[in-house]
Chains A and B, each alone.
Chain A
Amino acid sequence: MGWIGETVDSIKSIKIRQLLTQAITLGMIVTSALIIWKALMCVTGTESPVVVVLSGSMEPGFKRGDILFLHMTKEPIRAGEIVVFNVDGRDIPIVHRAIKVHERENTGHVDVLTKGDNNDVDDIGLYADGQFWLHRHHIMGRAVGFLPYVGWVTIIMSEKPIIKYILIGALGLLVITSKD
């Protein structure tokens, strides 16, 4: 219980200049995180260079809670690549494998059909009504690497927002009560 007393004392003894310095330091940390994120977006060529796997449709390769690193180049999509795509009108990115590819002569336009490894049927049922193929603009990136389990942090924070507030509150408290 002693450190709660300490914390309360240190909050009471805060001076304005010190508070402003803390606020600026915090701002710098947040800004540099943002810079790193944007730089990653540039290097990998996709809007979200890291995605969390939300469903079990690619098991046993990718389980719910894994994170995937994406990369997007101008190279056309080929069969076997694991692509992340958004269906028109829906927000949630889906990570599945391309099983059929038809590339047009001359224009380089591709029709892609995808399927989750663990699903029995292909993704036609997931596409918008009347859509039978995915096109280049639906695809956000190709998965090139992955880390297991790390995505659970994001899943927990989005499904139970209270945890997010507790975490940010605790971090904020840590920063404010630091003696530096």
Chain B
Amino acid sequence: MHSFGYRANALFTFSVTALAFICAIASLSDNFSDQNPSAEIQILNINRFKKQSYENDEVSLTLDITADLQSLFTWNTKQVFAFVAAEYETPKNSLNQVSLWDAIIPDKEHAKFRIQTSNKYRFIDQGHNLRGKEFNLTLHWHVMPKTGKMFADKIVMPGYSLPDAYK
């Protein structure tokens, strides 16, 4: 009962249990933080709007994104993954979500930012439904903790639209 093997086993079990308990508490503490992020997106320019050779519409645009995500950071946050997606409906698809830009925000200092960028990922439709299309630009964020449960949420900004004709 008092051999080396038993002592090592007991010590190991106890430390693993204690570590698991601490991780759970750390994760639970995230639920109590007060979060109020804000964002604003403007479309500066529609650069290109054409029909690809195999019939899908493609848009290239320049966005001006302002956001303040500082309140999302807690002591248990490792990084916040933020991305902007265009969301719209077409006759064939009840929902289309296309990510246009994303960024990894490693700490609180970088969480308040304003950037102007063209879309990082190609905005391609399944079909040719984009002329005159109204869409929402949604800023999503995904809080990735140092340990425990991940949270995700979004701000929906409706009211953007594409031109009626190809450019």
- A residues near B, CB below 8 A? 3, 6, 60-62, 78-82, 97, 99-106, 111, 117, 122, 143-148, 173-174, 177-179
**One of A103, A117, A174 near B94 (C-beta < 8 A):** A103
B121 to chain A, nearest CB (A): 6
Asked whether, in the complex, the Cβ of B97 is within 8 Å of the Cβ of A61, the reply is no
Asked whether, in the complex, the Cβ of B96 is within 8 Å of the Cβ of A61, the reply is no
Q: Give the residue name and chain of the B residue nearest to A107 (CB).
A: B94
As a 0/1 sequence over residues 63 to 102 of chain B, the CB contacts with chain A under 8 angstroms (1 = contact) are 0000000000000001101010100000111111111001
**One of B1, B97, B104, B148 near A79 (C-beta < 8 A):** B97
Asked whether, in the complex, the Cβ of B96 is within 8 Å of the Cβ of A103, the reply is yes
Asked whether, in the complex, the Cβ of B79 is within 8 Å of the Cβ of A79, the reply is no
Asked whether, in the complex, the Cβ of B140 is within 8 Å of the Cβ of A80, the reply is yes
Asked whether, in the complex, the Cβ of A78 is within 8 Å of the Cβ of B5, the reply is no
Measured in the bound complex, the distance between the Cα atoms of B6 and A6 in whole Å is: 14
Interface residue B126 (Cβ < 8 Å from any Cβ of A): yes
Total number of A-B contacts with CB less than 8 angstroms?
A: 92
Q: Give the residue name and chain of the B residue nearest to A178 (CB).
A: B6
Asked whether, in the complex, the Cβ of B121 is within 8 Å of the Cβ of A102, the reply is no
Taking A99-B83, A147-B23 as contacts, is the C-beta distance between A174 and B5 under 8 angstroms? Answer: yes
**Interface residues of chain A: helix, strand, loop or mixed (majority):** mixed
- B residues near A, CB below 8 A? 1, 3-6, 9, 23, 27, 78-79, 81, 83, 85, 91-99, 102, 104, 106, 121, 126, 140, 142, 144-150, 152, 154
Q: Give the residue name and chain of the A residue nearest to B98 (CB).
A: A100
Asked whether, in the complex, the Cβ of A61 is within 8 Å of the Cβ of B144, the reply is yes
Q: Give the residue name and chain of the B residue nearest to A103 (CB).
A: B95
Measured in the bound complex, the distance between the Cα atoms of B96 and A143 in whole Å is: 22
- Which B residues lie within 8 Å of A61 (CB)? 78-79, 81, 104, 144
- Which B residues lie within 8 Å of A100 (CB)? 97-99, 121
5 nearest CB pairs, A to B: A79-B97, A99-B99, A101-B97, A103-B95, A105-B94
Measured in the bound complex, the distance between the Cα atoms of B16 and A24 in whole Å is: 26
- 15 extra interface residue pairs, beta carbon distance < 8 Å, beyond A6-B3, A103-B94, A117-B104: A3-B5, A60-B78, A80-B154, A82-B150, A99-B98, A99-B99, A100-B121, A101-B95, A102-B93, A105-B93, A146-B145, A147-B147, A148-B146, A173-B5, A177-B5
- Which B residues lie within 8 Å of A62 (CB)? 144
Asked whether, in the complex, the Cβ of A79 is within 8 Å of the Cβ of B140, the reply is yes
- Which B residues lie within 8 Å of A111 (CB)? 126
Asked whether, in the complex, the Cβ of B93 is within 8 Å of the Cβ of A145, the reply is no
- Which A residues lie within 8 Å of B147 (CB)? 146-148
- Which B residues lie within 8 Å of A144 (CB)? 149-150
Measured in the bound complex, the distance between the Cα atoms of B42 and A147 in whole Å is: 38
Most buried by B among A82, A101, A106, A179: A101
Q: Can you identify 23 A-B contacts, CB atoms within 8 angstroms?
A: A61-B79, A79-B99, A80-B81, A80-B85, A82-B142, A99-B102, A100-B97, A100-B99, A101-B96, A102-B95, A103-B93, A103-B95, A104-B93, A105-B91, A105-B94, A117-B104, A144-B150, A145-B150, A146-B147, A146-B148, A147-B148, A148-B146, A174-B6
